[in-house]
Amino acid sequence: MHLLLPFLATLANGAVIAPRQSVTQVVRLSSIENVAVRSNGQILATNMNSANLYSIDPVAKTSTTALSVSGASGLSGIGEYTPDVFAVIGGKNIYKVDFTSSPPKSSLIGAVSGANNLNGLAVLSNSSVLVADAGKGAVYKFDVGTGAHAVVLQDATMAPTGGIPFGIDGIKYRDGVVWYTNIFKNSFHKVAVDPVTAKATGAFTTLWTNLMGDDLCFGPNGKIYVATNSGNSLVEVDPAVGKPTSVGSVTGSTSCAFGRTEKDSNVAYVGAGQGVFAVTIKA
């Protein structure tokens, strides 16, 4: 979710989280919502106010419109479920964007009936994705082949709050665990799930309640990285500890994804209000 508020990442106790890495701007684009990285190194970026899916060359530092997703008025969550094929949220719809053909093509997979405000997306397998409904405070499992879907996770930690209202925002899945943020509760959570059904097999656990979190990504070092939106930073989380450590200041950070080439596998590309930024993660 895109917000822009002019203050540094600060915990509820008033302590400022000091960044430890430098940040460089890759390209200037307004209101980037989510990012993903293709196997060829190109960055894909979405905007909730545009049907254009942007392609960014992080070496040349240029951006182009890869394609416009027909039928969508804006795009949010994105994830690669098979090589160079992505699921993208557009309103209440889930679209397929296929880069295996040239030029790339988009097509509607299906609508999520009953959805309130879809935002975050996580790849569960090569046949299904998890879609976070920020307005309902729930997660759908969505079949990318048939469009079949059902609520598989719903909990008070996902519930919407605030004037918008907006609850669960960022979501990612790995190794039987779903990690997610609740943006206006300033909280970060996890829950163990069945890898096939995505239904909870353990308790919903809260890791923090004092720092805004938007979308998130996994680093090559086993750490989790969370964009803090109005916290204006990218924070690193050791899954074993669950507490944030800032690695870079990025104003209005909304999302992140790591590079996939030999030269940038340790670079987190961060979507934000003013474009896409690069944060090199040092050991």
For residue range 185-231, what is the model confidence (pLDDT) as tens digits? 999 999 999 999 999 999 999 999 999 999 999 999 999 999 999 99
- pLDDT of 2 > 80? The answer is no
Residues 149-173: what's their mean pLDDT? 95
- pLDDT of 142 > 70? The answer is yes
- pLDDT of 21 > 70? The answer is no
pTM exceeds cut of 0.85: yes
CB 226 within 8 A of CB 237: yes
| Identity of the amino acid at 175 | D
CATH class label, 23-280: mainly beta
Token look-up 């930024």 returns 277
Residues 51-70: what's their mean pLDDT? 98
For the chain, the domains span: 23-280
Token look-up 């059902």 returns 150
pLDDT at 139: 98
138-143 sheet: strands from edge to edge: 118-123, 128-133, 138-143, 149-154
| Cα atoms found within 13 Å of the Cα of residue 276, Cβ hemisphere only | 29
For residue range 120-131, what is the model confidence (pLDDT) as tens digits? 999 999 999 999
